[in-house]
Amino acid sequence: MLKKVLIANRGEIAVRIIRACRELGIKTVAVYSTADQHALHAKIADEAVCIGPPKSKDSYLNMREIIAACELTGADAIHPGFGFLSENAHFARTCQKCGITFIGPLPESIEMLGDKATAKETMKKAGVPVILGSEGAIKTLGEAKALAKEIGYPVLVKASAGGGGRGIRQVRSEDELEAQMTAAKQEALACFGNDEVYIEKFIENPKHIEIQILADNFGNVIYLGERDCSMQRRNQKVLEETPSPVMTDELRRKMGESAVAAAKVCGYRNAGTIEFLVDKHLNYYFMEMNTRIQVEHPITEEVTGVDLVKQQLLIAGGEPLSIKQEDIKIQGHAIECRINAENPEMNFLPSPGVIKSLYVPGGPGIRIDSACYQGFEITPYYDSMIAKLIVHASDRETAIAKMRWALSEFIVDGVSTNIDFHLRLIRREEFLRGDYDNGFLGRTDILK
Ligand code: ADP
Ligand code: ADP
Ligand code: MG
């Protein structure tokens, strides 16, 4: 079993991981930048080490400092959380070389899945349905033109190394192709240091439905139902729910089995998520696999009763999975709203500042995952998510009602938030009917 875990992250996910460690009797080490001196994760961990100045590249992405902090404190494992170094194969390999357990899959799996163009090829061979598109990366404009013509417009140009909704461009006709391909390449180079792109068919009004899996080091893989993440703004998730309003038992089993096949073909270990697009005929297609814990993991925890972060720690510590597929029962309905410090009235401009007062909702079935407290300063250096509000109830209607009251009790003073936006969103007829797809927020003005 692991003895001391260093958390190479910040914010609510760092706090979430520290709590899971405590429950398992594992000691914790937080790392923090100078901007996070007063951050909650640094306060509640057993030990905390400053790893550099505010900019991510100098602190939370600074592998050398993080490994040094590990050696300094004698931590035997690193949990990377999400974002930052979580999907960095080089970092996972560096940990391995230094004799530190990386809480996640092997570097080879991260490499294989991190290159999304190659990952699709691997999945196709494993019999997992994929979206029609280029075989691997696209090298020239000529190649792109020929392929796009063959599969038919609209198409998407996507960064092979992409993540967080960046490096994706829609192309509606051939005359847009060159400009959009250049734009996607530039964004990919700036964000990921790699300008490789691939092309796939743009699926009209699909739903984003992803499957959570857990895999131990002994080849056991299980799936834990789906999450519907179709409520997206600019390809970024805003609200997630499970079960998906369009899911059937039959489709869940089929997608679950595809997800398990996807994990097995790359020798996957630890927690992972297979993201699929589902069209209106309920055909599903592999989109990518995220080789880490996800932001929206709590909704799965609520409906399955499985603590995914604890499972990550147990698996990394070498324990075989104690849960079997038949143990997984989906109970009730869970919804998560991502609460961000941003101003929806000003095109969702981030809104850093000091939280002057804070009141969070509570009661049965209400969960807050956050690292905020009254007096805490939200700095402009990191992403704008300040809390996740998660509700769990016996059915969808009750969960929505619970979410409505929880949102209306939630008070954050000092910074702008999207709480009111969420309130308006969950009152929409389309949401109430469960009738929305990935394009819903793009074509609907929630504030009107
Ligand atoms: P999830 O699928 O878990 O919801 P998101 O795509 O919203 O994940 O990303 C989770 C966090 O990680 C966000 O803060 C996002 O900005 C960040 N992130 C995701 N992928 C990358 C990446 N490749 N590089 C840097 N940050 C990323
Ligand atoms: P990232 O790595 O940035 O998360 P994804 O490949 O998961 O990128 O795509 C992000 C989002 O973009 C998806 O959730 C979906 O809304 C949209 N998207 C991606 N591929 C397609 C496609 N082929 N057709 C339609 N929408 C897509
Ligand atoms: Mg994705």
pLDDT value at position 165?
85
Specify whether the backbone of 422 is left (phi greater than 0), alpha (psi in -120 to 50) or beta. alpha
Point out the catalytic residue in the list 169, 252, 269, 292. 292
Using a 10 angstrom Cβ sphere, with 0-12 exposed, 13-18 middle and 19 or more buried, the burial of residue 338 is buried
Ligand 1 center to 290 CA (angstroms):
9
Establish whether residue 288 lines the binding site of ligand 2, counting it when its CB lies within 6 angstroms of any ligand atom.
yes
For 346-370, the pLDDT digits (tens) are: 999 999 999 999 999 999 999 999 9
Ligand 3 center to 316 CA (angstroms):
24
Residue 31 in contact with residue 8, Cβ under 8 Å? yes
| Parallel/antiparallel/unpaired status of strands 27-33 and 349-350 | unpaired
Determine the length of the chain.
Answer: 448
How far is it, in rounded angstroms, from Cα 409 to Cα 406? 5
Place of tokens 């404190």: 73
pLDDT value at position 235?
87
Helix ranges restricted to H, 74-172? 89-97, 107-114, 116-125, 141-151
pLDDT value at position 186?
96
CA-nearest residue for atom 2, ligand 2, is 163
Establish whether residue 115 lines the binding site of ligand 1, counting it when its CB lies within 6 angstroms of any ligand atom.
no
Q: Could you give the 3-state DSSP secondary structure of residue 65?
A: helix
Residue 254 in contact with residue 286, Cβ under 8 Å? no
Ligand nearest to the CA of 233: 2
Q: How far apart are the first and last CA of the chain?
A: 54
Q: Could you give the 3-state DSSP secondary structure of residue 234?
A: coil
Establish whether residue 273 lines the binding site of ligand 2, counting it when its CB lies within 6 angstroms of any ligand atom.
no
pLDDT value at position 433?
98
DSSP character string of 417-447: -SHHHHHHHHHSHHHHHT---TTHHHH--TT
| Closest listed residue to residue 262, CA positions, set 253, 248, 272 | 272
pLDDT value at position 320?
98
User: How far is CA 133 from its chain centroid?
Assistant: 24
pLDDT value at position 262?
97
Ranges of residues in the chain whose predicted pLDDT is under 50: none
| Closest listed residue to residue 359, CA positions, set 377, 374, 345 | 374
Ligand 3 center to 205 CA (angstroms):
16
The Cα diameter of the chain in Å comes to 60
CA-nearest residue for atom 19, ligand 1, is 164
| Closest listed residue to residue 304, CA positions, set 235, 252, 372 | 252
Residue 247 in contact with residue 209, Cβ under 8 Å? yes
For 246-282, the pLDDT digits (tens) are: 999 999 999 999 999 999 999 999 999 999 999 999 9
> Which of 13, 57, 61, 82 is the best mutation target for the ligand 1 pocket, counting ligand atoms within 8 Å of the beta carbon and taking the most?
82
Whether 292 is catalytic is yes
DSSP character string of 245-293: TT--HHHHHHHHHHHHHHHHHTT--EEEEEEEEE-TT--EEEEEEE-S-
